[in-house]
Chains A and B, each alone.
Chain A
């Protein structure tokens, strides 16, 4: 269709490259995540809690 400059014969290799790239990412990140210390995990997982101690009325100029 247009100049077969570089790619036509390479089609088959792209899924392989894609797989190797993604597999490397999965493996290294899974390894990294599994290596996280329990204390570290608990610290991160509890971050959404204890994030608010009270509420205060919105200031007068803050009124919607």
Chain B
């Protein structure tokens, strides 16, 4: 046996870069958050400028916080810890640099396009298609660099943090690609390939799991590495961390439908979403307790060590947010909380408390080590902690109060449930205004705390020498090759074979016809008995397989991929196959006219869905307030769906025909002239900017490809149709005393608003075999 001692110098340059980028983007994301929160209190803060309106800035805030702030923080943590856990330098310096600069370029592109109104109209997935492709490519660069590093590793065992990183990389790729599948209509615009309920399901499968696999699993990996380091003691229970990982990976991916409770989403999906959400309590709290108990015997350090303070508080907020999430997924609780500020409070407990505090703790821990100089001021870091904690508590408690208040008011009925107690929506908005103001104060305190971090880190690294960590390792002949599983070995082994056969048999049992059902039942029982017998006879083989899996990156990755893909596909495939226009019963949408389609794209571009839902839930108060509940078929031609997730303003699903055209005209000009106390921005540019009629030919062609039954209109026919409908609206406005040019965006928007809620009745479907 020959052994050679070598020195590995870690690539900490990219860690420093990502860390500094996260700090800077954190400032930007929080600042924009302060602005949008202020806009909800003072409409004047919209400044009557298109690129500063709430509808366009809110996506900038969410994208900046998720992808710029937490994204950069995550990359810094992953790269720092992975190199050390596997005792190897990153796979490629070039790929590391490409990853860093590519990601920053994407963020800059997002910061430019979102305020300009280029949006796909899907929450946390607003970025336009060229940027989507760039994100996918840079994510691949990250993946290659990460797995290349693992391939060069000098430590054969894979610590649990690495498992979390692997799950993050493959799951985010899967989620992002599926939810961003689009057909371009131009360089800056596209329609998603999913529409209506399919789009809603895919969107919230993505949206929920963006939280799970972008904001949670990588940060848990970071927790499992940095918390023991800071506490100077190993994780409380490594066994528990194993259970935490696998149960999260198996369960999290199924819970997306809890974002669509009481909607037109099929009941079986809602039931599945609720059940899996409730089951998330166990692994989440297991992980939280594991993190907190790692501090056993080190609690006294919390008094003085700001790093541990931040970590302990972050893990506590993780526990709080993951308790609240399943709670909000209970259908009756969701009926109260959905579309209200309670959800905003919930996500900020996670974003500010869990992500923000983990970031702060990690940066305070990293800065002295990456620049070889003690932290400039422990006191300032402690002050940051208290500013941040008080800020979060103010923010979250204000949003809880606001959400529950508005939810109760909106759902309140009298006269035995036949009359709304508060029929005027604006009344509920004005009641929560003080809480919305407290939110700005809380967010402001948190932001001040972050500025203290910026100053503290700046003073720490100013004039300091950047250093890279090194380690000496003994390189031996590769003895571990025999211990690793090949890709074939990952599948051709008793646990996997019996599991797959058992699952297939169970599927046949549940979904098959008479014979298949019997065969499936027999097969399932046989698999269980055979597996048990085989396990009893060959215990060692079963155990050895798992042990070998823990040192085998690719088989491990493939199995994790299968675990997460199954949860998504089981929900998406039936929905995509069944929920088509030809299968719709009861009501079906009438395709938009060209002008209405142009108006809808303006609605999407302005981000109206950030405040207005288009989904009347199957709840009495919703029906009393907005009209008959929304049917699945009524949004079947909506690319993208605009069901929304927050009602700062009322639902618009049936606003069509409710008011005359001139009402909408005046309302968009100055909402307060129509609705006293409204916090909606003015939209003066819609009265001067022209509708992009030229783009409609390409847009309608793409919609036809997607399945919307448009005739094969020529460009001239489309323009003729647009002109005729514009004339009708303009004539109506003139009769009401308003003069407007017909080619303005406001006319197209009015056309769209008046279409909402219009449908055709479909004959009841024949249900064979019933």
- What is the interface of chain A, defined by CB distance below 8 A to chain B? 1-8, 10-15, 17-19, 21-22, 25-26, 29-30, 32-36, 40-49, 51-58, 62-64
A-B contact pairs, 16 of them (CB 8 A): A1-B585, A1-B633, A2-B632, A10-B268, A14-B268, A15-B275, A18-B254, A22-B250, A32-B242, A34-B239, A47-B157, A51-B84, A52-B469, A55-B372, A58-B467, A64-B17
Interface-forming stretch among B227-235, B411-419, B425-433? B227-235
Residue of A nearest to B264 (CB): A1
Interface range on chain B (Cβ under 8 Å from partner)? 35 or more
What residues on A are CB-neighbors of B17 within 8 Å? 64
Interface residue? B770 (CB, 8 A) = yes
Further contacts, 19 of them, CB under 8 A, given A8-B267, A58-B468: A2-B578, A2-B579, A2-B584, A5-B578, A11-B271, A14-B275, A18-B272, A19-B279, A25-B250, A32-B242, A48-B81, A49-B234, A51-B471, A52-B471, A53-B470, A55-B468, A56-B9, A56-B467, A64-B466
User: Do B466 and A62 touch across chains, with their CB atoms under 8 A apart?
Assistant: yes
B282 in the interface (beta carbon within 8 A): yes
**Any chain A CB within 8 A of the CB of B767?**
yes
User: When the two chains form their complex, are residues B266 and A7 in contact, meaning their CB atoms are under 8 A apart?
Assistant: yes
Q: Which residues on the A side are within 8 Å of B242 (C-beta)? A: 29, 32-33, 36
Contact of B305 with A by CB under 8 A:
no
A45 to B231, CA, bound (A): 13
Given contacts A13-B510, A18-B272, A63-B466, contact A3 B239 (CB under 8 A): no
**Which residues of A lie under 8 Å from residue B240 when comparing CB positions?**
33
Q: Which residues on the B side are within 8 Å of A64 (C-beta)?
A: 13, 16-17, 20, 466
Contacts of A17 in B (CB 8 A): 510
The total number of A-B Cβ pairs within 8 Å is 161
| Residues of chain B at the chain A interface (Cβ within 8 Å) | 9-10, 12-13, 16-17, 20, 81, 84-85, 87, 155, 157, 159-161, 224-225, 228-229, 234-235, 238-240, 242-243, 246-247, 250-251, 254, 264, 266-268, 271-272, 274-276, 279, 282, 369, 372, 465-472, 510-511, 543, 546-547, 574, 578-579, 583-586, 631-633, 765, 767, 770
Q: Are B84 and A32 in contact (CB under 8 A)?
A: no
Query: Judging by beta carbons under 8 Å apart, are A14 and B272 in contact?
Result: yes
Give the residues in chain B near A5, CB-CB below 8 Å.
578, 583
Task: Write the nearest CB–CB distance from A33 to chain B, whole angstroms.
Answer: 4
Contact A58 B84 (CB under 8 A): no
Query: In whole angstroms, how far apart are the Cα atoms of A35 and B238 in the complex?
Result: 12
Contact among A1, A56, A62 for B584, CB-based, below 8 A: A1
Closest to A54 in B: B470
If A51-B84, A53-B471 touch, whether A22 touches B279 (CB-CB below 8 Å) is: yes
Give chain A residues whose Cβ lies under 8 Å from the Cβ of B276: 18, 22
